[in-house]
Structure 1
Amino acid sequence: MRGIVATLPARQGDIVSDKLKFGTSGLRGLAGELLDGSAQRYTAAFLLYLREVGKVGSGEVFIARDLRASSPAIAADVAAAIAGVGLTPVDIGTLPTPALALHAMANDAPSIMITGSHIPADRNGLKFYTPRGEITKADEAGILAALPKAGGPFPPAIPRDAFAQAGDRYRRRYLGLLPPGLLNGWRIGVFEHSSVARDILVSLLTRAGAEVLRLGRAESFVAVDTEATQDPLFSARQRWIDSYRLDGIVSTDGDADRPLVIDGKGGFLRGDLLGLLTARLVGAQSIVTPVTSNSAIETKGGVANVRRTRVGSPYVITGMEGARAGSEGVIVGFEANGGVLLGDTVTVNGVTLAALPTRDAVLPILAALSIAAQSRCGLADLTDAVGLSHALSDRIQDVNIDKAAEFVRRLTKETSYAAAYFVGAGKPVGLSSIDGPRFRLSGGEIVHYRPSGNAPELRCYVEAKTPERARTLLDWGLKAAAEAVGGTR
């Protein structure tokens, strides 16, 4: 056992909290809201729904978790609910979300990841997987419909331990993707914090010949948002690079489904660039990505088909299913945060990678390093080599959700409001509202606002012709929005 059976806090009553909701990837809420009986109820509803649609699989259900303080107790609740509906809980411990999905799919089993990903430490969540991979929005509706029949509370259960097998399967997946010696002469920092992929990354990079420096390991959970490049958490990067003469720094968010790559000059490689590099490495013919990814992907992506979606892996998965129905070749999905979904089994450098339709942070990290090493260039050269426009993003935290919703509504619906709002930035000449208002300005620049689906945050994405202009535009976009909705930068 690896700590999944925990002493649970006092219950607040076995009810389903109306504050929990499905966001861009999974069910999210305050940890206490999950521990009031809701984690049990949602788990039971998920499994009852799978029975109804004939997707329950082998009879086992795999569980993994991140390093949040609340995750062991929530995992214990999940295990109890699994046993309570007549299935067998199996614990794989603290491993990446894609490692859980990979192992469960190989065993024809559903799985549940206990993680809040990058959101604050007082929150947590559940990510649900069928035996075929991550759930869709239609599956979310099925889970909600099954909630009234969920039952509970359920007595504690002791799951079977499969930590070693699941971890080994995930590591073996990527052994050889970077051939031994490919990274000879490279010095790479692994920003460990509380990422569940930290030891796996060190192992893989060391095997490829890199000299690896372990940086910033944390014993308690740290909420790392890989898109929030101005976060003080990243302020040490230049000191690390200079002190240790690093060629780059890599990391992930807490559950390792979002990558972080920093070049040897201290610059961040955008997530959509990492996704595009991965698509090139695996020879993709089709890309599925949200509207927040770089607008130049259609012209610079080098693939025949690009499908745009709303933000969130369930939408990307639905788009990938559409691409498959259209026989659009090898499919890669990715989000602007860099999480890559591999839609087809491929062979790269003699290594066969099975399809893995859930966000994965390790594959895009290895793809960027592989392409840079084989091209004999630095990570900093990849951005210019691909030719994407300069893009940045960040978020305003602690916003009033109602104010943010009204702000987004007015920008989208009121032309005069939008024109007055953008006086300090440029003239809006185009608007897309697939997922929040995305304005094209007269100079070809992009400003896009989107309320987070997981936390009280408002995100801002910008694109411009130069990095300096992108920074200026993002600073303006954050400041102007903060004045409109409040919150903190």
Structure 2
Amino acid sequence: MSSLKFGTSGLRGLVTDLVGEPSYAYASAFFRTIAADGGEGAVVIGRDLRASSLGISATVAAAATAAGFRVIDAGALPTPALALEAMRQSACAVMVTGSHIPDDRNGLKFYRAAGEITKSDETAIVAALTLAESATPPVRTAPVVPQPEALARYRDRYRDAFPADVLAGLHIAVYQQSSVARDLLSELLAALGARVSAIGRSETFVPIDTEAHRSEDVAFIREAMASGTFDALVTTDGDADRPLMADEAGQILRGDVLGLVTARHLGIDTVVVPVTAGSAIERAGFRQVVRTKVGSPFVIAEMEQARRDGAESVAGFEANGGFLLGSDVRLADRVLPALPTRDAVLPIVATLAAARTRKVRLSVLVAALDAGATASGRLPNIPAERSGAFLARLSEAAHLGAFIRPVGAPQAVDRQDGIRIELDEGRTIHFRASGNAPELRCYTEARSAADAQDLLRWGLAAASTEIVDY
């Protein structure tokens, strides 16, 4: 059975299941859906730096040429930079990336000219897949039009929107590892006035997950910051649509906190976040907060709805830190145009700018938010039918009350993606089935890290017992 599957953002799976004919088939199915809608005649193709991405991008280019599309090769660049270039050229786009997952896996992210594909687009691609597979021509080399300027245009987007001295006085460590944005980040932060030190560059792929931090990354960051010479450390996941930032003491900041700081710094009116983001967002003074299922397509859909409903400025962000700008925003006498796809660079620049503007350290800036603490974990090897049955039982009020009684009584319940239960004293516990793997995930929130971890341990143990008993 193939491991390939659409998850919260794009298609992912083992490299062995993707290279060659499978990537050709999925790309061909995507181009079929675009052509069926009378869509774009050009496609912009980009890739991250993992070992398999160059070969897969060549296969995608061959599929595009066979489908009658003009191929524009943007090379190795961040996913949001590819989306920006596709919007500029009114073209569709394909990004070859596995994001934060290990090097033995990879994936494809698909874009229409207006931005990320929707969940209904994913369904259409899968429906067209059988047709593509039944008549797949041999893979051949496709002529391409190189577009190296796409990366420079993305960098200039931020140089044009922020003053050249906005980060003056800050000393930033850029943990380069294998991020496709590693050189861009160093160049951009320096252009905005920061003193930059590039550290930790790797020629092999490093799977940086901005939510589930590897112990070796935590240790590296703490050691790098132990000297006390840096004001912050920044990096991204593999395709640079999710940021990771540590404060002056080496404490890694939560992704939703970066999103909250960024939205406030930009003066956003309406924010859209998934149910996994922390509850401090509702206390932050935004005119409206909308919560969605987990996944950027759901966030984008609600941002578009907010614009239709008359919101003046709209943005979305996720617990992983990816920030989606749904409308143009004015920064003094400058304008930052909308880019409604996950982006790592904007929250990095805006958070640093917020600290610099307020003349406080990152730790002080974050502490003032009173955002509490979160924790997350997972039960692996839980088939979808088992996790689904567990969540269905929790949807029954009597069963939920008995299940949750050891840690409190439900104050409010959100069932739009799994079940998120608000308890007393600012605590929440949230169970949901993974969209990418056979596992049950648990997220907790409390006023202290110790309490969040205690609630997580209870949640995983209680869920495991419940699933086994039934």
TM-score, structure 2 as length reference:
0.92
How far 1:202 sits from its partner (Å)?
Answer: 0.6
- Alpha-carbon distance between aligned partners in 2 of 1:122 and 1:353, rounded to the nearest angstrom: 37
- Residue 248 of structure 2 corresponds to residue 267 of structure 1: no
- Residue 158 of structure 2 corresponds to residue 158 of structure 1: no
- Alpha-carbon distance between aligned partners in 1 of 2:280 and 2:464, rounded to the nearest angstrom: 28
Tell whether the 8 Å contact from 2:326 to 2:340 is kept in structure 1 after alignment.
yes
Q: Name the counterpart of 1:258.
A: 242
Q: Once the two structures are superposed, what CA deviation does each residue of 1:250-270 show, in whole Å capped at 9, x if it has no partner?
A: 111111111111111222222
**Structure 2: gaps of 5 or more residues:** none
How far 1:403 sits from its partner (Å)?
Answer: 7.4
Q: Name the counterpart of 1:5.
A: none
- Residue 62 of structure 2 corresponds to residue 80 of structure 1: yes
Q: SS in structure 2 opposite 1:124?
A: strand
Q: Name the counterpart of 2:81.
A: 99
- Alpha-carbon distance between aligned partners in 2 of 1:269 and 1:91, rounded to the nearest angstrom: 35
Tell whether the 8 Å contact from 2:226 to 2:250 is kept in structure 1 after alignment.
no
Tell whether the 8 Å contact from 1:427 to 1:442 is kept in structure 2 after alignment.
yes
- Residue 10 of structure 2 corresponds to residue 22 of structure 1: no
Tell whether the 8 Å contact from 1:395 to 1:457 is kept in structure 2 after alignment.
no
2:19 to 31, 35, 39: 35
- Residue 184 of structure 2 corresponds to residue 200 of structure 1: yes
Residue identity opposite 2:22 in structure 1: S
2:355 to 363, 366, 372: 372
Q: SS in structure 1 opposite 2:330?
A: strand
Alignment of 1:403-482 (within 5 A): 405-406=387-388, 408-409=390-391, 412-413=394-395, 418=400, 422=404, 425-478=407-460
Q: Name the counterpart of 2:340.
A: 357
Per the alignment, do residues 256 and 482 of structure 1 end up closer, same or farther by CA in structure 2, a change over 3 Å counting? Answer: farther
- Alpha-carbon distance between aligned partners in 2 of 1:418 and 1:195, rounded to the nearest angstrom: 43
**Structure 1: gaps of 5 or more residues:** 1-16
Q: Name the counterpart of 1:322.
A: 305
- Alpha-carbon distance between aligned partners in 2 of 1:366 and 1:482, rounded to the nearest angstrom: 41
Alignment of 1:51-450 (within 5 A): 51-56=35-40, 59-150=41-132, 151-229=135-213, 231-243=215-227, 245-300=229-284, 302-388=285-371, 390-396=372-378, 398-402=380-384, 405-406=387-388, 408-409=390-391, 412-413=394-395, 418=400, 422=404, 425-450=407-432
Q: Name the counterpart of 1:9.
A: none
- Alpha-carbon distance between aligned partners in 2 of 1:128 and 1:406, rounded to the nearest angstrom: 28
Aligned pairs, how many? 466
Per the alignment, do residues 18 and 201 of structure 1 end up closer, same or farther by CA in structure 2, a change over 3 Å counting? Answer: same
Q: Once the two structures are superposed, what CA deviation does each residue of 1:427-480 show, in whole Å capped at 9, x if it has no partner?
A: 444432211221222444101123332245543322112343224333444565
Tell whether the 8 Å contact from 2:234 to 2:246 is kept in structure 1 after alignment.
yes
Residue identity opposite 2:416 in structure 1: I
Q: SS in structure 2 opposite 1:284?
A: coil
Q: SS in structure 1 opposite 2:50?
A: coil
- Alpha-carbon distance between aligned partners in 2 of 1:212 and 1:404, rounded to the nearest angstrom: 49
Which region of structure 1 is more displaced relative to structure 2, 469-478 or 274-283? 469-478
Which region of structure 1 is more displaced relative to structure 2, 76-85 or 220-229? 220-229
Residue identity opposite 1:205 in structure 2: L
Tell whether the 8 Å contact from 1:97 to 1:257 is kept in structure 2 after alignment.
yes
- Alpha-carbon distance between aligned partners in 2 of 1:359 and 1:125, rounded to the nearest angstrom: 16
Per the alignment, do residues 121 and 424 of structure 1 end up closer, same or farther by CA in structure 2, a change over 3 Å counting? Answer: farther
State the identity %: 46
How far 1:369 sits from its partner (Å)?
Answer: 0.4
Q: Once the two structures are superposed, what CA deviation does each residue of 1:278-331 show, in whole Å capped at 9, x if it has no partner?
A: 22222221111111112232232x222221110001111111111111111111
RMSD, matched Cα: 2.4
How far 1:116 sits from its partner (Å)?
Answer: 1.2
Q: Once the two structures are superposed, what CA deviation does each residue of 1:28-79 show, in whole Å capped at 9, x if it has no partner?
A: 12112212512111111111111222222xx221111112222122112111
How far 1:404 sits from its partner (Å)?
Answer: 6.0
Residue identity opposite 2:358 in structure 1: S
